[in-house]
Amino acid sequence: MMNVKLDQNTYMLLTLKRFFGVIFPFTSKIKIPYSTIDQVLTTEVKMDKTKTIKVVGISTANRNIGIFYVVGKGKVLYAFYRKNRCITLKLNDEFKYKEVIVEVENKQIIADEIIRRIKENKQQWYK
């Protein structure tokens, strides 16, 4: 599970919690500028294992933690146990991953807040 900090004006900070941080210690914090987020989804994650290549991390039946290469997308960061508790951040070419898919508590509340902050940042950009 990820701890999501949205208290910054221009970026969000994801911190890996508990077991996730042990498995993925070299990237325990991920800073994602709101300007790089194209879309925020709360739908259940669907992984096509035939098109997914593990770069570094763990992928078992219910644990997906690490950096993966997905054919047709590019590099994707996964950090989840339960597919139905995830948010998916679709990112533009300015960021090193094409998608970041993470398990969070209260996914709809977090997704709505991220979307609100993206809109605020766009309004500030155009001023």
One digit per residue, the tens of pLDDT, for the chain of length 127 reads 667 888 778 899 888 765 554 455 555 788 899 999 999 999 988 888 889 888 887 777 778 888 899 999 999 998 888 889 999 999 999 899 999 999 998 999 999 999 999 998 877 655 5
What local confidence, expressed as pLDDT, does residue 65 receive? 82
Q: What is the distance between the alpha carbons of residues 51 and 36, in angstroms, rounded to a whole number?
A: 24
C-beta of residue 2 within 8 angstroms of C-beta of residue 105: no
What local confidence, expressed as pLDDT, does residue 9 receive? 80
What local confidence, expressed as pLDDT, does residue 121 receive? 81
What local confidence, expressed as pLDDT, does residue 14 receive? 85
C-beta of residue 13 within 8 angstroms of C-beta of residue 33: no
What local confidence, expressed as pLDDT, does residue 34 receive? 93
What local confidence, expressed as pLDDT, does residue 124 receive? 65
The gap from C-alpha 16 to its chain's centroid, in whole angstroms, comes to 11
Which of 4, 9, 25 has the alpha carbon at shortest distance from 123?
9
What local confidence, expressed as pLDDT, does residue 109 receive? 94
pTM value? 0.85
Annotate 28-66 with b (16+ C-beta within 10 A) or e (fewer): eebebebebbeebeeeebebeeeebeeeebebeeebbbb
